[in-house]
Chains A and B, each alone.
Chain A
Amino acid sequence: MSKPILSVRDLRVAFGNKKAPVEALHGVSLDIWPGETVAIVGESGSGKSTTASAIINLLPGSGRITGGSVWFDDVDVSSLSRAEIESLRGKGIGFVPQDPMASLNPVWSVGFQVAEAVKANGVATTKKEVRERTIQVLRDAGLSDAEQRLKQFPHQFSGGMKQRALIAMALAANPKLLIADEPTSALDVTVQRVILDFLSSMTRETQTAVLLITHDLGLAAERAERVIVMYRGEIVEAGPSLEILQNPIHPYTKRLVAAAPSLASRRIESAVVEGRSAVDAGATVSESVPAHAAEVVPAIEIRDLTKVYPIRSGVFSSVDFTAVDHASFVVPRGTTMALVGESGSGKSTIAKLILKLEAPTSGSIQINGADTTNDLGSRDALRLRRLMQPVFQDPYGSLDPLRSIESIVSEPLVVHQVGDHKSRHDRVSELLDQVSLGRGIAHRYPNELSGGQRQRVAIARALALKPEIIVLDEAVSALDVLVQDQVLRLLTELQTELGLTYLFITHDLAVVRVAADHVSVMEKGKIVESGTVDEIFANPSQEYTRKLLDAIPGANLLA
C-alpha cells in the first residue's frame, strides 16, 4: 500500500482563551503507513502528548486545533462532527493512555469497562458474544485467567495488569492505528519490557500501525522503525531510528543522544577534578576496602538490618511483612552506593531507616563509625541530621509552595541555629551558585521553576548544613533525560569538590551506570547481589540482576 494511514499536515494547537491563545504546536506534519511503528520523542512540554491527543480530538482543558489537518483513512478528522469522531475512536484509532493507575474507572469492574469498548464499536452485540469477545481480548492481552478476573475491580489489579486491560480495550475493535502515549512510564523496568514486547507482537500480527509517544530515546529507537524528535512544539528531526541514534543532525537531538544514559555510557567524570577522577577514587577505595576496613571508617555501614511491618488482617490479628530482610552493606567515604530494585523491593525503606525516619526491627546502623541504631536523644539526632541530608523523588511535592526559595534553602540553617540573618543570606547565595541556579532565583517561588530547577533547590537545601552524606531517594527519576544528565553531573562535581558520600536509590540501572561506584541489587527485601558497578554490569551473577539489565530500553541497540 502506498498511502499513509495517518497523515498530519501543518497541525497547530493552542491553549487558553481566544483573546490570548498560547500556541503549543507550531505546524506539525507526519505520516504513518499501515503496519508501521513510529515513535515521537521529546522532553515534557515538547508537544508530543498534545500531538497524540489532537489526532483523536481529545485535547485536555482549553486546548483546540487552530490550523492544519489530520487525515485518517482519507477523512479529515478535524472537520468531523462529534458523533462522527466518537465512532472513529476505538474502531479506527485505539488509544493506550499514559498512567494505567488513573486511567481505569475505579468504580466499575475491569470486565465491564472492556465490554463497553467491545459494545460501543459494534464488534459484538448479544450479551453472550460481548462476554466471549471481552474474555478473548483480555486473553490476547496476556491475562490468561481473564474469565475469573472479569468481575474484579481496577484496585485489585497490579500496574502491569491494568496496562494490559487498557491495551485490550484499545485493541478490542481491531483499530488500524494504535496511539500509545508513554504506555510504560509508570511501570517498573521489567514490567515495561514485557508490556512492550507484547504490544509489538500484537500489532505485528494484526498489521496495526503504532504511534508510540515516549521521552526515552533508547526505548523509541528499540521499538520503532522511524523516530520523530519534537522540541518546543515543532518536529526538529525525523528519520529511521538507527540513523537518528548514530548520526543526529539537529543540536537538540545530539544533546538528547549524548545525555541518554545507557549501559555503554561511562561513569560521569567531574570536570573540576585534577588528578584523580571520580572513577579512580571509587575504584581505589573499593579495592582497598577489605584490606583497610579496620583503619578507614566507612560513612555508612549497615549490618543485618531488618524491618518488619505488621499488616492488619483482622480486628485483632496482624500478619508480619518483612520489608527489609537482613541487609548489609558498607559505603566508603566519598563514594556513591546505588541501591537498585523494583518498586516494593525495600530500597526506600532502607533509606528511611538510615535517615532515622523509621526504627529498624533488628540489625545495626553505623554512621561515621557511631552506632545510630537505637533511639538517640534529641540533641544527638539533631547532630546526626546535620551530618546526613535527604533529597526526595518528587521535586514538586518536596518544596513548600508557600515559601520562597531563599526561605526553603535557609530553613535547615535556622533549625540548626547556624549563623545570623546576614550570614544565612550569604550562605544561600553561595549554595545557589554551587548548584548553578543564579542568585536571582532566591526570591521566587517553587511553582515558577521547572522540575530540574526545583531538584537543584532541593539539592541546595540538602547541602546547606555542609553534610557528609546525602541520601538520594529516586532523586532523578522524575526528570527528563537532559535535566537528569545535568543533575547527575552536578552531583558528581559536588562529590569531588566537597568529598560527599551518596546513597543513591533508584530503579533505573542506566542511571546507576553513570552515577555510582558500587551497587547493591535488592529483591523482596534482600540484597541479592552487590559489588562495583563495573563488575555487576559485566558479570551479573543473579538471574534477577540480568533481568533488570535486559529491561533497560535500548540496551541491546547501544551496547
Chain B
Amino acid sequence: MIRYILRRLLQVIPVLLGTTFLIYYMVFAMPGDPLLTLFGDKTPNPALLEQLRAQYHLDQPFIVQYLLYLGGALRGDFGTSYSGQAVSEILARTFPVTLRLAVIAVVLELVLAVVIGLVSGLRKGKFFDNINLIISLVLLSVPIFVLAFLAQYFIGIKLGWARPTVSGSAPWSELLLPGIVLALSLYATSMRLTRASVITTMNQDFVRTAYSKGLPRRRVIPVHVLRNSLIPTITNVGTDFGVLMVGATVTEGIFNVPGVGNAVFQAIRHSQGPTVVSFVTVMVLIYVFVNLGVDLLYALLDPRIRYE
C-alpha cells in the first residue's frame, strides 16, 4: 500500500515537468509583448523597458527563462507578476476561496446524488423516479451560466436571500449561492450513476441472501445495497472536485468570486507567464492528490481492490 502511494507520488515529477514546460512555452509563444501591455497607451521609456526586461529575464532565450523559473520554483520562489505582486501571494489568496467553493459544491452534490439517487433507484418507474429523471435531464441540458444568472437574479436580487455577488474576503455564507449553482449543474450525472447502480445491486443474489437470512429492509438497503452502489458515484464526485479546484471560471466570473478561475483568466489575458505556470503547477498537484484520494477510497469501499 505504502509502496503504491509512493509510486503514484513519484509519477508527479515527470507530469509536472511536462505540463510546466508546455504551458510556459505556450505563454511564451502568445502574440504581444507582456511589458508593453502594462503601459497601455503610453510609450514607455526605452531604458526603463530594457531594465524591466532584464529584471524578468525576458531578454533571455526561452529555454533559459524556463530553467530560471524552474530553479526558482524549486526553492519555493514562484517569482513576481509583472504588476509587482509575488505569485505565491496570489496563489495563497485565491486557492482558499476556490477550495471553500469546491467543498460546498461537492458536499451538496454528493448528498443530493446519493439520497435522491437511492430513493429513485428503489422506486424505479414510480412517480418520484419519473419526476426526478425529468428534472435531472433539464439540469443536464441547461448551460451553467443560465443557471447562475437565474439564481443571481431571483434569489440574489428579487428575493434578496443572498448577496448577488461575493465580497473580497469571500466568506462561507456568501459562497453558498454559487456553490448551490455548481452542485445543481453537477448533481444530475452523479445522481443517475447512483440510481443505475442501486437498481443493478438490488437484483444481485447477495441482496436476496441478505433478505433470506432474516435481515430487515432498513438494514439491507444501507449495508448491502448502498455501499456496493457508491463506487461509480465516488469516482464521479472525486473528478468533479478536481475540476472545481482548477477554478469554475464561468461561475466565479458571474458571482465575482475572487478565486482561481478569475485569477488564471486575468493572468492569461495579460500573458503573465510565471503566474499562469505557477497556477498550473498547483493545479496538477491537486489533480494528482484528488485522483490518488479517489483510488484509495475505492480500496476502502471494495476490499477486492488492493494496491501493491
Among A61, A106, A120, A155, which residue has its beta carbon within 8 angstroms of that of B213? A120
Q: Determine whether the beta carbon of A121 is less than 8 Å from that of B214.
A: yes
Please tell me if the beta carbons of A120 and B203 are within 8 angstroms of each other in the complex.
no
Q: How far is the CB of A185 from chain B (nearest CB, A)?
A: 13
- 0/1 interface trace, chain B 292-308, chain A, CB 8 Å (1 if under): 00000000011110001
Name which of A86-94, A274-282, A335-343 contacts chain B. A86-94
Q: Is the interface of A mostly helix, strand, loop or mixed?
A: loop
Interface contact A97-B209, CB-CB below 8 Å: yes
Judging by beta carbons under 8 Å apart, are B215 and A82 in contact? no
What bracket does the count of chain B residues touching chain A fall in?
20 to 34
- Asked if B228 CB lies within 8 Å of chain A CBs, one says yes
Q: List residues of A (133-156) whose CB comes within 8 Å of B's CBs.
A: 153, 155
B128 close to chain A: CB less than 8 A: no
A residues near B304, Cβ cutoff 8 Å: 106-107, 153, 155
- Chain B residues, CB < 8 A from A170: 212-213
Q: Whole-angstrom distance between the alpha carbons of A314 and B308 in the complex?
A: 8
Selected contact of B214 from candidates A109, A117, A166, CB within 8 Å: A117
User: In this complex, what residue of A is CB-closest to B212?
Assistant: A95
Report B10 CB to chain A, min CB distance, Å: 13
A105 touches which of B210, B211, B217 (Cβ 8 Å):
B210
Q: Which chain A residues border B214 with CB–CB below 8 Å?
A: 86-91, 117, 120-121, 173
Q: Is A105's CB under 8 angstroms from B224's CB?
A: yes
A102 touches B301 (CB 8 A): no
Kindly state the separation between the CA atoms of A117 and B216 in the bound complex, as whole angstroms.
Answer: 11
A293 interface residue (CB < 8 Å to B): no
- Asked if residues A56 and B210 are in contact (CB atoms below 8 Å), the reply is no
Give the residue of A58, A108, A121 whose beta carbon is less than 8 angstroms from that of B211: A58
Most buried by B among A86, A90, A104: A86
Q: Is the CB of A153 within 8 A of B228?
A: no
The answer to the question of A172 belonging to the interface, with a C-beta cut-off of 8 Å to chain B, is: yes
Residue in A95, A105, A107 whose beta carbon sits within 8 Å of that of B301 in the complex: A107
Distance, CA A99 to CA B209, complexed state (A)? 10
Residue of A nearest to B3 (CB): A315
Contact B227 A107 (CB under 8 A): yes
Among candidates B208, B227, B302, residue contacting A97 with C-beta atoms closer than 8 Å: B208
Contact of B303 among A58, A86, A153, A169 (CB under 8 A): A153
B228 touches A105 (CB 8 A): yes
Q: Considering the chains assembled together, what is the distance between the CA atoms of A106 and B204 in angstroms? A: 11
Give A247 to B301 CA distance when docked, in angstroms: 56
- Chain B's closest residue to A314 (CB) is B308
Residues of B within 8 Å of A121, CB to CB, are 213-214
List the B side residues contacting A83 at CB < 8 Å. Answer: 216
Q: How far is the CA of A82 from the CA of B221 in the complex (A)?
A: 15
Q: Is A117 a contact partner of B303 (Cβ separation < 8 A)?
A: no
Inter-chain contact A117/B213, CB cutoff 8 Å:
yes
Whole-angstrom CA separation of A108 from B212 in the bound complex:
17
Chain B's nearest CB lies how many Å from the CB of A17?
10
Interchain CB contact under 8 A, A169 and B206: no
A166 cross-chain contacts in B, Cβ below 8 A: 209
Q: Give, as a whole number of angstroms, the nearest-CB distance from A180 to chain B.
A: 11
Which residues of B63-120 are within 8 A (CB) of A? none
Is A377's CB within 8 Å of the partner chain B? no
Which residue in chain A gives the minimum CB-CB distance to B225?
A105
Q: Are B208 and A169 in contact (CB under 8 A)?
A: no
Q: Does B8 contact A (CB under 8 A)?
A: no
B41 at the interface (CB under 8 A from A): no
The distance in angstroms between the C-alpha atoms of A61 and B124, with both chains bound, is 12
Q: Mark A29-69, 1 if CB is under 8 A from B, else 0.
A: 00000000000000000000000000010101100000000
Write out the residue numbers on chain B whose beta carbons fall within 8 Å of the beta carbon of A99.
205
Report which of A88, A94, A108, A120 forms a contact with B215, defined as CB distance below 8 A: A120
In the assembled complex, B219 has its CB within 8 A of some CB on chain A:
yes
Is there an interface contact between A82 and B217, defined as CB atoms closer than 8 Å? yes
Q: How far is the CA of A426 from the CA of B210 in the complex (A)?
A: 54
Task: Determine which residue in B208, B212, B219, B227 has the highest number of CB atoms from chain A within 10 A of its CB, and name it.
Answer: B212
Partner of B206, one of A61, A87, A102, A109: A102
Known: A105-B224, A106-B304, A107-B227. A58 touches B212 (CB 8 A): yes
The answer, among A97, A104, A153, for a CB contact under 8 Å with B212, is A97
Cβ–Cβ contact A102 & B204, under 8 A: yes
Given contacts A153-B303, A153-B304, A155-B304, contact A105 B212 (CB under 8 A): no
Contacts of B203 in A (CB 8 A): 60-61
Residues of chain A contacted by B211 (CB below 8 angstroms): 58, 86, 89
Cβ contacts under 8 Å, B216 to chain A: 83, 86, 120
- Specify which chain B residues have a CB less than 8 angstroms from the CB of A314 in the assembled complex: 308
Q: Given A153-B303, A153-B304, A103 and B206 touching (CB < 8 A)?
A: yes
Q: Are B212 and A90 interface neighbours, CB within 8 A?
A: yes
Q: Are A95 and B228 in contact (CB under 8 A)?
A: no
Kindly list chain A residues whose C-beta atoms are within 8 Å of the C-beta of B228. Answer: 105-107
**Which of B206, B213, B217, B223 contacts A90, CB < 8 Å?**
B213
A106 touching B303, Cβ below 8 Å: yes
Contact indicator per residue, chain A 162-174, by CB within 8 Å of chain B (1) or not (0): 0000100110110
Asked whether A116 is an interface residue with its Cβ less than 8 Å from the other chain, the reply is yes
- The answer to whether B213 and A107 have CB atoms under 8 Å apart is no
Shortest C-beta distance, B217 to chain A (Å), equals 7
* CB-defined contacts of A94 to chain B, threshold 8 Å: 212-213
User: Measured between C-beta atoms, what is the minimum distance from A533 to chain B in Å?
Assistant: 37
Report B-chain residues with C-beta under 8 Å of the C-beta of A116.
Answer: 210, 213, 215, 219, 223
Question: Which B residue sits closest to A106, measured CB to CB?
Answer: B304
In residues 73-88 of chain A, which contact B (Cβ within 8 Å)? Answer: 82-83, 86-88
Contacts of B205 in A (CB 8 A): 97-99, 102-103
Question: B303: which A residues are within 8 A, CB to CB?
Answer: 106-107, 109, 153, 155
Minimum CB–CB distance for B232 against chain A, Å: 14
The 30 listed contacts between A and B (C-beta, < 8 Å) are: A56-B212, A58-B212, A60-B203, A60-B208, A86-B211, A88-B214, A89-B212, A89-B213, A90-B212, A90-B213, A94-B212, A95-B209, A97-B205, A97-B209, A106-B302, A106-B303, A107-B301, A107-B303, A107-B304, A109-B303, A116-B215, A117-B213, A120-B215, A120-B216, A120-B219, A153-B303, A153-B304, A169-B209, A169-B213, A170-B213
Which 10 pairs between the two chains have the least Cβ-Cβ distance? Answer: A90-B214, A95-B212, A117-B213, A102-B205, A105-B206, A89-B214, A103-B205, A90-B213, A153-B303, A120-B214
Q: A83-B216, A89-B211, A97-B205 are in contact. List 14 more A-B contacts (CB 8 A).
A: A58-B211, A88-B214, A91-B214, A98-B205, A102-B204, A103-B205, A103-B206, A104-B206, A106-B206, A106-B302, A109-B303, A120-B214, A120-B215, A121-B214
